[in-house]
Structure 1
């Protein structure tokens, strides 16, 4: 009754990237992920969006159970699941529900639901893949091992191991100021380029386990989980010795110290992440009688991200500063307890038994910040001479910011699907949730499907939805300190909790749930000749959307007033922002999916098409996100995306081609002199692969993504930073990628 894309294991394997977000982007046009080089933690935990909405507007399930979030509060503070933590080789298929589903699954399912089904096969399978960009960089090696055991005909145990080692890419030009500095200092060896815009260096090891065992004729045990650990490193912006504040002389604190002695040619801080991710689910399910089944499960998930800085300095500590720092950790953990029932309700008035699902859930989320090395956030004696405090490039999380926040919620739901006649099916769902930190919410969904004939049907849904603010969004802070060189007073600048008295002085209010109203209507069709597809139109209105406010300057008068009111820390605050329910949006779009399979000569030909039109409009705002925020929401992604694919199989050969299309879009950059915008034209990329299945279980594949080495328009507004292509591009900007893959199975 609602549109669902089913992405097969074979389709996932046709994309060279090891990360599921890239695979889905190539295959599902309504799904998008950006690269975001030199963008702190976002370069490792990339924000993935469905239908152009926020990354945390899409609920992620594994084997039908809720997946935990990443610890990163990313773009505009969004906190979604990190699909890159799941080994793609462990996935049997992916089901993408393109419809609001909060009434069925709870918080976050505003744009839809992504359900990853893990492999359950018995046998052995493996692969090794090597790839490189046409520019000669980005070398990547992937290795996957997968084995399954039959448990005495009572179940299975399937394990998957996947390893990835990727070198960085660079699509950079030398910065103009670096050219000038080199010419003025010919005796120095200034790197060219001084900073690399591209994908980070990355290593990752991922593991998955999926098991099921029948305890009796009516009861079975199941369990599954994933574990991963990874690390990566990327450049930050180059620090020019002629203009960077860290190079200032410090006659008061360090008269004999000169940073030129350590970094004579400037320095580009190296930003690194080490992550560890764990998810476990265990449960029992069975039948009470032929009409009533039950499922009891418990799950735990944890995501831990540690940040490190190398090749940098805390300028305010002068000669006492290290050049490498541990900047702190972010930790997200979640525990769920679910009890679900399904009842087959036989009624004489219905054409077939109605399906009644009902159940309850308890969930607890905890968000934790661990402080970094004291030197990573310290304000040293050199601050009196204007030397910047904290590890340059990314100040560490301070002891004051280190804290733990939690939230508990309870939910109950009922979902009825009834075939009123042989052709007409209706559905209704209702879900109630209560959250300890902000209150309760009730959401509903109505669905309808009418089958005019065996191969043609119309369908429609209407639903309300919500996304509850997370503990990290509700309570965490991200601030840094410095020293006013005139008053010699410490100052604090950065993001405060919405409940902080200083933030509330500027209008911050307790966060509320984002609320949505969704409508979808469409048609599905299938013919005996092999032609099938669907066409759906949709509208999603989201009220109280979550965002980050502008930065408010704390004047001396305001500071004195806050101090007089006894607000803690007010004497050191200079500028603040905060998370807020800042605006409303309306998203309208069309999804068209079609495929055609037929015999062709001695082989089989399969043609596919998938297109998405998606338009978002900011319908109301409180003014805090500004014009640049509106442009990014409305025009920051292409309105039209799509792909055409063809696959031909004959005598062990398999040839696949895919044409990917991205419409025009607008990039925006905030500058002290005013915001800058640039329009980017439409782009088309062509992927091609050739495979052959040998006797004995060996399969060889040679392929290219972006075969014709197409590059998008160059970004002009940040050329002075050495940037060639936009960092916010909705597609890969590294050119052609060539790869070779060998599979072995038995």
Structure 2
């Protein structure tokens, strides 16, 4: 923790006397009226807030729930420093985290969150109670917490479209199906039938970069007795950079090479995006309505890859770790080797390949890029989702909801300012790399009936049926983007008759395109049935039981159950708890990804194909793969709810989540000549090109334990209302078993346990007086540890592991509403410009950074943007 941590704490003490968490007043509609376990009070009491997540009853409130549920309103989302929904939830829910992952291929654009330290595909996301489709990106380049996962992309939904967000912090696969292991996020869309809301926001970092412009709006229209609500958002996000110079680039400038400064920018990608959300419902008959909702999102994003050198250069070596001696001088070779263009007439190798003249004409990448180059990786993401249904109540009191949903996420990659070295002087410099597509179709029927059986409440009996079809596709790139050109491997002869081997990279340098061996188009179907019953057995005791059966066409059946209970000793104190089993079905991307990348690993002089194959393929089975089975979980939770007065609530909940058969990508298997021959005999077309093989497999187990504690308080005085909340999360994940050692390295196992801070806390307070408000928020992130290798035995010097200190940031916002319709707010995120601890591993004294120019670790939950100021204006018509 650096730069004014003590000032932050001192300022907090002052701010707490004048500011508070987001809480709405009629005169200040920009301020939140969120209420929940983890929320401030509005004018209504928390006990009056009806929830729809985690229960099938229609009369259950936040504090009456047997499991912890947080509820956040539209105003609560609107007053966060960031417009990105994923970042907003991170600010509101202490157990929800995300990392930066700058420059990590597609992960830089689709940032994977974690909930309770568990990956994004163990978080179920709903929109209006209906399952949201996944992103097309399988996180093969992500951090060790999320590698191999495939979850939804929350950034596709603009916060202006949301009327409320409910976060269920409990396992719920028995109620909602696959993925609901860590919890459930339910995004409730706005239902305004009139009014126009317009918003604009401008901000930038204290460093002067990272300019962020957001324009959003919402309009509500009446459709008879129904409504049509339309929301839109445009985001223009500029790049911010927190890298500095590289040791090789500084030396290259001394040679007269005009290397950009800094050579590679690490931070926030550039992005232009627009998103539209529609929500509509029209009543018909006495008790029924037809509804429709959906979204369309489009985003163009780009990020730098590493700088490529035009020539070799030698620099002073790095210091591996503080207190260790500096390494000897290090030579950074030129990034793209020399291509020899002139074959010697009539001279061939034993294999019939031409022999090239070392003294003849040559080609260098510097012919295209004299000062070196930085490949520019770009993504175009289109996301579309739609649901249509009918719901209502029968004459005998049964509620029903019949719906159909379809969704698609498509990502297209391009790479500019690079080349395919194996094509030599004929290489293009711009490439279309191919596409990823995730498609989902759901048909769903839900019914519920309140049956009077003599309990303190009706016995709510709910049930449902569901059909899902999921498809995953990988689309072909330009041939030049993946081609193994004529100069991939060359035999070159010197004037004295001696020979050597020269190699050139294959495919677009930085990210080879998807070739014919990578194209995929796989689908699966699933059928589900569930039952869920709940009742107040006596006035003080609530009991719920749920069970679900799922059949998947690719791996078979799974049955899961859940029991939950709540006992109220009085209006002021209650106990609650739940136990459940759950599962996460292998995602289509994990089941059907087939990708071949060609390179020169470990000094090889011939191109080696590294293939990610499907678990059921001939090649995969030859190397021991088995069909993927679902991840299985067992969850327990229990807690206390204290409401000693209407303005004070305290909850504390313990949770324990065991996940078995977790899915991971194996380490590469080396393919020998004998393996190639055997695979060829089995009919594998490209067997003799294979050098390495990996695949997705079930391979390890984890146990996650933790505690959530939330305190909310409201004080009304003659000089305004103060609303305060304190939310604290303790979370610890342990790798408890490894059934396939090749599925998870010791390094990844250590990072799963160490990269997420054990402690996270959010202290917020808000002061409102008539049309004015001030909000302050202190974010605390505990220590975390990053491992760059397998931890060494005890007593052995560890030069690859670094522990990072706790991190603090303070957010402050002040706003006013004028004439009941014009809103103005100014604020700062990370007001005191705090940064995480710097990297200490492999630092070059000449620059004070790593070889890439990076200063900070991507695992920092605080991030390394530093301070960010913004102005927001709005108007209601």
Change (3 A) 1:484 1:171: closer
Name the residue aligned to 1:606. 723
Pick aligned residue for 1:35 from 87, 91, 100 = 100
Is 2:836–2:862's contact at 8 Å kept on the other side of the alignment?
no
Change (3 A) 1:696 1:100: closer
In structure 2, C-alpha distance between the alignment counterparts of 1:488 and 1:182, rounded to whole Å = 31
Pick aligned residue for 2:282 from 213, 219, 222 = 213
In structure 1, C-alpha distance between the alignment counterparts of 2:266 and 2:440, rounded to whole Å = 35
SS in 2 for 1:420: strand
Note the C-alpha offset of 1:560. Answer: 3.7
Is 2:489–2:607's contact at 8 Å kept on the other side of the alignment?
no
Note the C-alpha offset of 1:696. Answer: 4.6
Pick aligned residue for 2:215 from 143, 151, 154 = 143
In structure 2, C-alpha distance between the alignment counterparts of 1:228 and 1:201, rounded to whole Å = 16
Name the residue aligned to 1:249. 339
Note the C-alpha offset of 1:99. Answer: 0.4
In structure 2, C-alpha distance between the alignment counterparts of 1:717 and 1:598, rounded to whole Å = 49
In structure 1, C-alpha distance between the alignment counterparts of 2:603 and 2:196, rounded to whole Å = 69
Name the residue aligned to 1:620. 737
Is 2:438–2:472's contact at 8 Å kept on the other side of the alignment?
yes
Name the residue aligned to 1:491. 608
Name the residue aligned to 1:416. 533
Note the C-alpha offset of 1:502. Answer: 2.6
Name the residue aligned to 2:514. 397
Note the C-alpha offset of 1:534. Answer: 1.1
User: Following superposition of structure 1 onto structure 2, how do residues 113-132 of structure 1 map, counting pairs within 5 Å?
Assistant: 113-121=184-192, 122-132=194-204
Structure 1: runs of 5 or more not aligned: none
Instruction: Say whether residues 1:723 and 2:870 are aligned partners.
Output: no
Name the residue aligned to 1:159. 230
Pick aligned residue for 1:314 from 416, 420, 445 = 420
- The one-character-per-residue Cα deviations of 1:277-318 (angstroms, maximum 9, x if unpaired) are 000001001111353111100000000000010110000001
Aligned length: 741
User: Following superposition of structure 1 onto structure 2, how do residues 227-266 of structure 1 map, counting pairs within 5 Å?
Assistant: 227-241=296-310, 242=312, 243-251=333-341, 255-266=361-372
Structure 2: runs of 5 or more not aligned: 1-65, 313-332, 344-355, 491-502, 793-797, 843-849
- The one-character-per-residue Cα deviations of 1:711-738 (angstroms, maximum 9, x if unpaired) are 1101133611100111232222110000
SS in 2 for 1:289: coil
Name the residue aligned to 2:752. 633
Is 2:746–2:789's contact at 8 Å kept on the other side of the alignment?
no
In structure 2, C-alpha distance between the alignment counterparts of 1:532 and 1:687, rounded to whole Å = 24
In structure 2, C-alpha distance between the alignment counterparts of 1:301 and 1:669, rounded to whole Å = 38
Is 2:712–2:726's contact at 8 Å kept on the other side of the alignment?
yes
Name the residue aligned to 2:657. 540
Is 2:611–2:690's contact at 8 Å kept on the other side of the alignment?
no
In structure 1, C-alpha distance between the alignment counterparts of 2:562 and 2:799, rounded to whole Å = 41
- The one-character-per-residue Cα deviations of 1:249-281 (angstroms, maximum 9, x if unpaired) are 324579342221211211110000001000000
**Higher radius of gyration, 1 or 2:** 2
Q: Which moved more, 1:256-265 or 1:557-566?
A: 557-566
Change (3 A) 1:12 1:485: closer
Is 1:407–1:470's contact at 8 Å kept on the other side of the alignment?
no
Name the residue aligned to 2:804. 680
Instruction: Say whether residues 1:466 and 2:572 are aligned partners.
Output: no
Name the residue aligned to 1:6. 71
Instruction: Say whether residues 1:578 and 2:695 are aligned partners.
Output: yes
In structure 1, C-alpha distance between the alignment counterparts of 2:543 and 2:394, rounded to whole Å = 26
User: Following superposition of structure 1 onto structure 2, how do residues 365-514 of structure 1 map, counting pairs within 5 Å?
Assistant: 365-385=470-490, 386-482=503-599, 491-514=608-631
Name the residue aligned to 2:153. 82
Pick aligned residue for 2:818 from 686, 694, 714 = 694
In structure 1, C-alpha distance between the alignment counterparts of 2:452 and 2:867, rounded to whole Å = 58
SS in 2 for 1:247: coil
SS in 2 for 1:659: strand
Note the C-alpha offset of 1:553. Answer: 1.7
- The one-character-per-residue Cα deviations of 1:475-512 (angstroms, maximum 9, x if unpaired) are 21122125899999653114221222333333221111
Note the C-alpha offset of 1:550. Answer: 1.1
Note the C-alpha offset of 1:322. Answer: 0.6
Q: TM-score under structure 1 normalisation?
A: 0.97
Is 1:383–1:482's contact at 8 Å kept on the other side of the alignment?
no
Name the residue aligned to 1:180. 251
Name the residue aligned to 1:516. 633
In structure 1, C-alpha distance between the alignment counterparts of 2:656 and 2:599, rounded to whole Å = 47
Is 1:292–1:343's contact at 8 Å kept on the other side of the alignment?
yes
Is 2:799–2:841's contact at 8 Å kept on the other side of the alignment?
no
Pick aligned residue for 2:437 from 331, 345, 352 = 331
Q: Which moved more, 1:476-485 or 1:296-305?
A: 476-485
Note the C-alpha offset of 1:529. Answer: 4.9
- The one-character-per-residue Cα deviations of 1:66-91 (angstroms, maximum 9, x if unpaired) are 00000000142101000001111101
Note the C-alpha offset of 1:402. Answer: 1.3
SS in 2 for 1:469: coil
Name the residue aligned to 2:182. 111
SS in 2 for 1:207: strand
Is 2:373–2:418's contact at 8 Å kept on the other side of the alignment?
yes
Higher relative contact order structure (alpha carbons within 8 Å, sequence separation ≥ 6): 2
- The one-character-per-residue Cα deviations of 1:83-128 (angstroms, maximum 9, x if unpaired) are 0011111011110000000000000001110000001112111110
Pick aligned residue for 2:772 from 653, 659, 663 = 653
Name the residue aligned to 1:68. 133
Note the C-alpha offset of 1:565. Answer: 4.8
SS in 1 for 2:870: strand
Q: TM-score under structure 2 normalisation?
A: 0.83
Is 2:133–2:439's contact at 8 Å kept on the other side of the alignment?
yes
Is 2:836–2:863's contact at 8 Å kept on the other side of the alignment?
no
In structure 1, C-alpha distance between the alignment counterparts of 2:463 and 2:640, rounded to whole Å = 28
SS in 1 for 2:76: helix
In structure 2, C-alpha distance between the alignment counterparts of 1:13 and 1:269, rounded to whole Å = 36
Is 2:309–2:373's contact at 8 Å kept on the other side of the alignment?
yes
Change (3 A) 1:162 1:251: same
Name the residue aligned to 1:355. 460
Name the residue aligned to 1:97. 168
- The one-character-per-residue Cα deviations of 1:324-381 (angstroms, maximum 9, x if unpaired) are 1000000001000001101001112x11101111010000000011011000000001
SS in 2 for 1:104: helix
Change (3 A) 1:575 1:309: same
- The one-character-per-residue Cα deviations of 1:105-155 (angstroms, maximum 9, x if unpaired) are 000001110000001112111110000000000001100110001223x11
In structure 2, C-alpha distance between the alignment counterparts of 1:412 and 1:688, rounded to whole Å = 48
RMSD of the TM alignment (CA)?
A: 1.8
Instruction: Say whether residues 1:643 and 2:743 are aligned partners.
Output: no
In structure 1, C-alpha distance between the alignment counterparts of 2:563 and 2:665, rounded to whole Å = 33
Is 1:277–1:303's contact at 8 Å kept on the other side of the alignment?
yes
Note the C-alpha offset of 1:382. Answer: 0.9
Q: Which moved more, 1:570-579 or 1:442-451?
A: 570-579
In structure 1, C-alpha distance between the alignment counterparts of 2:681 and 2:549, rounded to whole Å = 44
Note the C-alpha offset of 1:59. Answer: 0.3
Q: Which moved more, 1:59-68 or 1:619-628?
A: 619-628
Change (3 A) 1:487 1:595: closer
SS in 1 for 2:240: coil
Change (3 A) 1:487 1:547: closer
